[in-house]
Structure 1
Amino acid sequence: MRRSLAFALRLLFLALCLPATATAQGRILVDTIRSKAIAGNAIGDTPNREVFVYTPPSYDRTPNRRFPVLYLLHGFTSHPREWLDGSYQGLDLQKTMDSLWRVDAGDFLVVMPNADNAMGGTFYVNSAAFGKWDDFVSQELVQYIDARYRTRTDRASRGLAGQSMGGFGALYLAQKHSDVFGSVYAMSPCCTGMVGELAPTSEVWRYLRDSTLTPPPTMAGSVRLARTMTAAFGAPYDKAGAWSPFLPVDILTKDASGLRRSCAVVLEYGLDDAIASVPLGSRAYADGLARAKIPYRLDAFAGGHTDRTRQRFEQRVLPFFAQQFSGAAPSGSCTP
């Protein structure tokens, strides 16, 4: 407990006091993986996938050392570059990670695959339309990173995080592959259950059923999202039980065993999020964890869907994984 408190205080000092520019600099490398799992998808999406990899300054300086890995999943109609180019209130993940390294807390890799496609995203599931994205992330990508970089390969040294669609993907993959990923942090996870704009009574489905209707601007994004989910899951929403195998809330309700071995589960959402499925789904997921007696943390913050993204990364998400990977996490219950 004393070690954990000291670690937390050190990270708080970082967030409040350290300047943004770090002396030592890590690197962003861009790899391309030709995926067998994605090849042959129905929409003709390329199987050649860009993967952005952050390596800390110590990676090149200590050639015999192995490092933990955070797999970071982007959201709908997004791209990994947005973690780096200031799109989120000036967030530059490389600089933030370099700052963490200054207090010996950022010694891990961050891997960011590009999951964008013509329909706006893949939802990180195995799909006839989009390819086997579950297999790509949980098998091909992990195996590629472990073979190409000096990584620690126990599950306690691998984490999953994502925002919006990426938060959905992080929860979905963490449930299915607790033997691969030890910890999960879902930021504003969308679409985790049939609630909010995805509820069966939602007007969204009327526009989805009738392509001659034009949804109002306030609903256009939700209609596009639901159309992509329909393609990803290979069935319309109202086909009995067709979406349940993909929805994190439904999966958790049916069988919570996938998360029982997790080192840590964290969800967060903005109190003013205009995407109703985010707060409703996050609370429903937390209720499922509580019923299953699985430890978790649920954080609600002032703001909307992408508000405070930079702040959350700098002060919550990345320090959380630094603590998990360092062994200073208070639970101490994560086993290889």
Structure 2
Amino acid sequence: MRKILIGLLLLCYSITSIAQGKLVRHEFTAASLQNNKGGEDPLRQLTVYLPADYEKGTQRYPVIYVLHGYGGTDSVMMSVWINFKKLLDEAIKTGKMRPMIVVAPNSNSKLQGSFYTNSSVTGNWADYIGKDVVEYMDKNFRTIPDRKSRGLCGHSMGGNGALKLGMLFADTFSAVYALSPAVLNWYGDFTLRSGGFKRISKLNNIEAIVKALNESDKTGDFDAFFAAVLTAMARVYSPNAANKELLADFPVTYVKDSAVYDPKVIAQWEAQFPFYMIDDYLPQLRSLTALKLDWGRNEEFSHIPYTSLQFSKKLEGYRIKHFAEEYIGDHGNMLDGFDGRIFNELLPFFDKYLYVK
């Protein structure tokens, strides 16, 4: 009897081991980020999930590209904040999702966010994802090198990036899922009246802005946080190498305590907001196999629920098929775990809409 029990335990262990996928970390030099004027490192890291049977077979797999949020990295997104390996192992084992490769690229910058946008100053961050990372994955892993087998998703800044790159690279990705997408348009805590713009005018120095951001984690200084976010956005939305301190122009500057608005720069920013991009990318949006965005009702960032719904309504007005959902939750509390949205919504979404040979 004891031998039988030991045998069953060994069998269970063997089955469990077989069901385990693997996380690997690679790095490569991204052509789209080389020779930038902002001092951004073109050597980039990727955290890649490989399904359990990857190393033993010759099968090719669909790929889900995961874009991290502001202040994040590839490893933070995949291993620290969200336990993707645990969720993916269980989803594949239980049939919630077929085996797939999942990759998170590192898009962190000196100001802790690239906003997945090409910049004449800090490098071409959209091309880095849509060209360099995809090319690297197809060259170094057994992917299915077809848009029908590539999905794109992201959270917060990454949700913004997923929607933006879904439009810019609709010939590369076919299914897009945005979780709590940030700064789709002006509203609430993200407006031209943000105290972050005033703080930028006072500090007017990258090192001082980064220092204030790091201290804001302890002090809860929201203006310092937004000063860093807005500077990161300016360096990709309205880059200007002639501005030696910040390498960017800003839609709002301050002379003493008086705000000065620049219509030209405001227009530059709005041209990069996914809400306004919809008008210019209707064929691309219609070509997507599937598009979804969701957000928490109790968001800490008040602009996200409003602008996400606004984005969805605009898609609806153009009769672009998509899914949109508000759920009871905040910016991140409902994402991880087996009862979270990544496991129950995002992974089944890609299982349904990505092509598997």
Provide the rounded CA distance (Å) in 2 between the counterparts of 1:140 and 1:325: 21
Q: Distance in 2 between matches of 1:243 and 1:203?
A: 18
Does the alignment pair 1:67 with 2:71? Answer: no
Query: CA-to-partner distance for each residue in 1:283-331, whole Å, 9 max, x for gaps?
Result: 111011101111111111112111112011111111211222257xxxx
Equivalent position of 2:236 in the other structure? 232
Instruction: State how far apart, in whole Å, the 2-side matches of 1:245 and 1:108 are.
Output: 35
The equivalent position to 1:313 in structure 2, one of 327, 342, 353, is 342
User: Who is 2:91 aligned against?
Assistant: 100
SS at match of 2:268: coil
Q: Which has the larger radius of gyration?
A: 2
SS at match of 1:243: helix
* 1:247 counterpart residue number: 273
Secondary structure in structure 2 of the residue aligned to 1:198: coil
Q: Which stretch shifts more, 175-184 or 40-49?
A: 40-49
Deviation for aligned residue 1:22: 7.0
Task: Give the unaligned 5+ runs of structure 2.
Answer: 1-15, 240-248, 252-261
Q: After superposition, where does 1:319-334 map in structure 2 within 5 Å?
A: 319-325=348-354
- Once the two structures are superposed, residues 139-198 of structure 1 have per-residue CA deviations (whole angstroms, 9 ceiling, x without a partner) of 111111111111112211101000011111111100111110001000111111122223
2:290 — aligned with what? 264
1:120: which partner in 2? 112
Contact 1:22/1:98 (CA < 8 Å) preserved in 2?
no
Q: Distance between the aligned counterparts of 1:113 and 1:149, measured in 2?
A: 15
Q: CA–CA distance in 2 between the matches of 1:123 and 1:277?
A: 17
What is the Cα deviation at residue 250 of structure 1? 0.8
Alignment TM-score, normalising by the size of structure 2:
0.79
1:82 and 2:76 matched: yes
Letter in 1 for 2:122: F
Q: Which blocks of at least 5 consecutive residues in structure 1 are unaligned?
A: 1-20, 328-336
Cα-Cα RMSD: 2.1
Q: Are residue 46 (structure 1) and residue 41 (structure 2) matched?
A: yes
Q: In the alignment, which residue of structure 1 is the partner of 2:321?
A: 295
1:69-112 deviations in whole A, cap 9, x for unaligned? Answer: 0000000011122234343xxx3111111111113423111011
Q: Distance in 2 between matches of 1:106 and 1:98?
A: 10
The answer to whether residue 169 in structure 2 is matched with residue 177 in structure 1 is: yes
Alignment partners' CA distance in 2, 1:82 and 1:106: 24
Name the residue aligned to 1:218. 222
* Structure 1 contact 22–102 (Cα < 8 Å) conserved: no
Deviation at 1:45, TM superposition (A): 1.6
Aligned length: 303
What code does the residue aligned with 1:111 have? V
Question: Which amino acid in the other structure matches residue 256 of structure 1?
Answer: L
Could you tell me how far 1:23 is from its partner in structure 2? 5.0
Q: Deviations over 1:205-234 (max 9, x none)?
A: 333333389897133322221121111212
1:263 CA drift (Å): 0.8
Contact in 1 for aligned 2:98/2:351 (Cα 8 Å):
yes
2:137/2:143 contact within 8 Å kept: yes
- The structure where helix makes up a greater share of residues is 2
